[in-house]
Chain A
Amino acid sequence: MSEEPDKTDERMEGLLRRWGAEEAAEHAPQAALPPPRRAAGPGAGLRYAAVAAGALLVGLLVATLVNRPGQPVGLSTRPADDEIANLNADLTKAQRDLAGLRAKLTALEADLQAERLRLQTDLAEMRNDRDRHKAAATAAAAREKALKRTLEGQQARLAALAAAEKQLARAKLDLAAAGKALTQAQAQRHASGRKLAAAAVELARIGKSYKQALTVSTALEGEVTALKARREATLADLQRAYLARATADERGIRARQVAGQSCRIVERAAEVRSLATSKLARQAVDRLEVVLIRLELLNVDDTEAVMAFAALVRSVRPAETVDEALAAGGEVTKVRAWLLEARLILTGAGRVG
């Protein structure tokens, strides 16, 4: 509903504005043409010439009428006929002068026309010259542009050649260095070949020696194994003999207890310790003495105590301890005998239970 009045208002306003503009344009005063325009047309010169010539004619006529030679000024002092005759004569003369002036004016107009044509011709020639010069200048600019492009291309090629020359020089230097390196590498290769040949001979010799050593080692290993077996058998026999001191009903821990007491092994420990020279032997005596004292004091009927003792023996590992101390060597006979006896008594005691 509200849009309709708005549209009407807009249309009203538009009509009034359009009407106002048209009214203003229609009733505005017409301004004069600018002055340069009025004098600028090609016909203006001729119009001025015609006006000047007319003014000249009127001036001459007036001068002729007013200032006739020998006649006093004023028309009322002469008889009418003479006056008329004189006036006719003056008129004829003025008409002749007018005709002469018209002829001059025609000649002037012709000259003016000719001058205008000449000027137009000159102007056309000048325009042609200007166009020719413009075309020549354009062609020269195009040539200069092309030459500039060519020059730029040649300069670019020269720069590329210089760069290529530098690369070539660098490549030559690299080649010389590579030749030297190749010579050195060849010398090194020859030296390496010689070393390789010598190394191959040495390797063959070592291989031969290794085979021989392997043969000897295999033989020795067999002997060692046999010796170990024999030693173990001896030790077992010795232990059996050592522990056989006990009575027939005394076996196991009890037999070992009796064997230790019978050979007073605990009592001899102090002397043996003082005789031992190596640290390893002293340590072995200390550890074994502790185990032997526990054995001596052990109640063999107390199963729990027997089990604890067996655990102690396993932790001390008497056989290994004695073997290590003896292997170090350098101990006197009393020490070696004590260690061996302790080994015989305690070996196998850890298996109880």
Chain B
Amino acid sequence: MSEDDRHLVWRHKAGDNSAFEELHARHGRRVTAYLLRSGFTRPEADDLCQEVFLRAFKSLGSFDADRGSLGTWLGAIARNVARRQWRRRARPEGFDGELAEETFAADNPRAAPEVREELQAVRDCVAALPAELGRIVRLRYIDARTTRGIAEVTDTPEATVRARLAEAKGMVERCLRGKGVLE
């Protein structure tokens, strides 16, 4: 858990109401990203994100910073909120739940410069891809869609999606080798 989060939680517990707003500013996008990557629509994701932070506000007083990061804790709340929603209606198809879960797995890249450099290299390599291949890579890794999900969005056969994804990954790999990220 970052010192910033720890300090904000401490401030909130001490009665500083602006601290929670800062926590929301720091983690709100990640929670929304998780919900979108889980297949919820934008309005649904907004509502559910509000519910996540409402729950977090109610129970932040009992949060123990020594037992885990705030991001992980918020991720657990977001998962529970999403699961409750899925009990009311079927889980959306076409989204890769494993990728969605990884939204909370990564630490804050601001704390690791070498990771930040690697991610910037990936960003550059994906940006250098042909438009159609770049779109497929973004649909896969940013939107967390499955091959079938990508096929539905792009109106392309699944086999074609797989072939293009493999081609795109090959190009990204060569690009990363060129940048010295991969050996």
Contacts and interface: CB of A to CB of B under 8 A. Distances in A.
A31 B143 contact: no
A33 B25 CA distance: 9
Given A16-B137, A20-B141, A42-B17, 16 more contacts: A12-B182, A18-B106, A19-B126, A20-B144, A22-B119, A23-B138, A24-B37, A24-B143, A25-B30, A28-B30, A28-B33, A29-B42, A30-B32, A31-B31, A31-B46, A37-B20
Interface in B118-177: 118-119, 122-123, 126, 137-138, 140-144, 169, 172-173, 176
A29 B32 contact: yes
Given A16-B122, A16-B169, A19-B126, A24 B142 contact: yes
A229 B94 CA distance: 139
A29 to B, nearest CB: 6
A28 B53 contact: no
A20 B57 contact: no
Contact of B140 (A18, A20, A40): A20
A32 interface: yes
B115 to A, nearest CB: 8
A33 B24 contact: yes
A76 to B, nearest CB: 51
B109 interface: yes
Contacts of B24: 33
Contact of A41 (B17, B46, B103): B17
A70 interface: no
B102 A32 contact: no
Interface string A147-169: 00000000000000000000000
B106 to A, nearest CB: 5
B93 interface: no
B54 A12 contact: no
A17 B99 CA distance: 7
Nearest to B105: A21
7 contacts: A15-B122, A15-B176, A16-B169, A20-B141, A24-B103, A25-B103, A34-B50
Interface residues of A, number: 30
A21 B99 CA distance: 8
Chain B: number of interface residues, binned into ranges: 35 or more
A23 B103 CA distance: 10
B172 A22 contact: no
Contacts of B70: none
A40 B18 CA distance: 11
B144 A34 contact: no
B49 A31 contact: yes
B28 interface: yes
A131 B108 CA distance: 41
Interface string A75-101: 000000000000000000000000000
B36 A28 contact: yes
B33 A24 contact: yes
Nearest to A23: B142
A21 B141 CA distance: 7
B181 interface: yes
Contacts of A27: 29, 33, 142
A8 B103 contact: no
Interface in B11-37: 15, 17, 20-21, 24-25, 28-33, 36-37
A30 B45 CA distance: 10
Contacts of A19: 119, 122-123, 126, 141
A25 B31 CA distance: 8
Contacts of B49: 31
B64 interface: no
Nearest to A15: B122
B50 A31 contact: yes
Contacts of B29: 25-30
